[in-house]
Amino acid sequence: MKKALIFDPYLDTLGGGERYSLTFALGLVSLGYSVEIAWNTRETLKAAELRFGLDLSQIKLNKKAFTLCRGRSSLINRFFLSRRFNLIFWVSDGSLPFMFSKNNLVHFQVPFMAIGGNKLVNKVKTLFIRKFVYNSQFTASVHENHFPKNKSFVLYPPIDIDNFKEKTKENLILSVARFDSPSHSKRQDVLIDAFKELHKSHPEYQLLLAGGSHGTSATLEILKEKAGSLPIKFIVNPDFTKLKRLYAKSKFFWHAAGYEVDEIANPEKVEHFGMTTVEAMSAGCIPIVIGKGGQKEIISGGAGFLCENAKEIALNTKLLIEDDKLYQTSLDLVSRIPSKYSLKSFFSNQKKLL
């Protein structure tokens, strides 16, 4: 049986990128691979099962590989580790590893402006890498300044669109984003500003801010203080089942990552793709988001709204609330988008990559 190793240094953050890595692992299992995760505790995988609704029972834990991948292991130890596997899928933290399996894939979730390490050594490392896998055309466009374009492969994130069902909609606006993001701020503060504006004309609406947070979060406390007495509900660390219910009954989806960021100078600080945006669209939520980074690949042709600031987010939402025809037209256009990012599409394109 072919063997594969997955290494994601951010696995315990349980964000969209981690769902990507674990779904990639499950795709390998379906293709006959024995898959191991370079990690040190099974509890993280159990938490991921709850957060993402994935069955990871066939994924093995490799603690030794975790130590070698995460630490400063010798080149000879890395060589012997790598040679045990037919394929290695490595999520980059902004640097390149030495990899020696038959099929070495490096995945970039973040569009890093600079790659860590010695440039000459990185060129040597690149020789051993068959493909650089990107989560969006936006991320690819940044990294193609560093790496050969013929080694680029865009594999859009997997969205289980069939798992999201539209139910009777309520006067709810939903945002799903980590409160403490390791790579870029999700700017829920901008959404609170937008809601303050919308609340003046439509006090019947409630804003739901859902997302992950580790322990005591200074960011979360600041946001709660900013929200004050407004009808804003904070939903911290919801599991996948609860998230689906929130999507199902919300009319609109807001997202503000990238606000006031120059995406050319600082591409890592905008939304690299926008998995939650596609999830929301799958459940019949109209997305109204800051128009930066990967969001522009998802939202086009009237299927949602790309905005520059809180005022525009509030204004576009107000227009949709007050114009039933515009709302229905937008909803119809939104329903056509998600199939491009379905699990079926992900696994089909994964096969092409392998």
pLDDT over 80 (residue 214)? no
Work out the angle between the directed axes of helices 42-52 and 16-30 (0-180°, nearest 10): 100
DSSP assignment letter at 87: E
Model confidence band, residue 16 (pLDDT cutoffs 50, 70, 90): confident
Question: Tokens at residue 107, please?
Answer: 């995945």
Cβ–Cβ under 8 Å, residues 122 and 142: no
Q: How far apart are CA 74 and CA 34, in angstroms?
A: 26
Concatenating the DSSP letter of every residue in 145-214 gives TTS-GGGEEE-PPPB-GGG----S--SEEEEE--SS-SSS---HHHHHHHHHHHHHH-TT-EEEEEE---
What is the chain's alpha carbon radius of gyration, rounded to the nearest angstrom? 21
Domains in the chain with CATH codes? 3-155 (3.40.50), 161-340 (3.40.50.2000)
pLDDT for res 105 = 98
Nearest Cα residue to 282 out of 184, 174, 115, 165: 165
**Mind listing the pLDDT tens digit for each residue in 30-84?**
999 999 999 999 999 999 999 888 999 999 999 999 988 887 678 898 899 999 9
Nearest alpha-carbon partner for 272 in 293, 296, 290: 293
Model pLDDT for residues 335-344, shown as the tens digit of each residue: 999 999 999 9
Question: What integer pLDDT is reported at residue 259 of this predicted model?
Answer: 96
Amino acid 58: pLDDT: 97
Q: How many Å apart are CA 65 and CA 36, to the nearest integer?
A: 9
Average pLDDT along the chain: 94
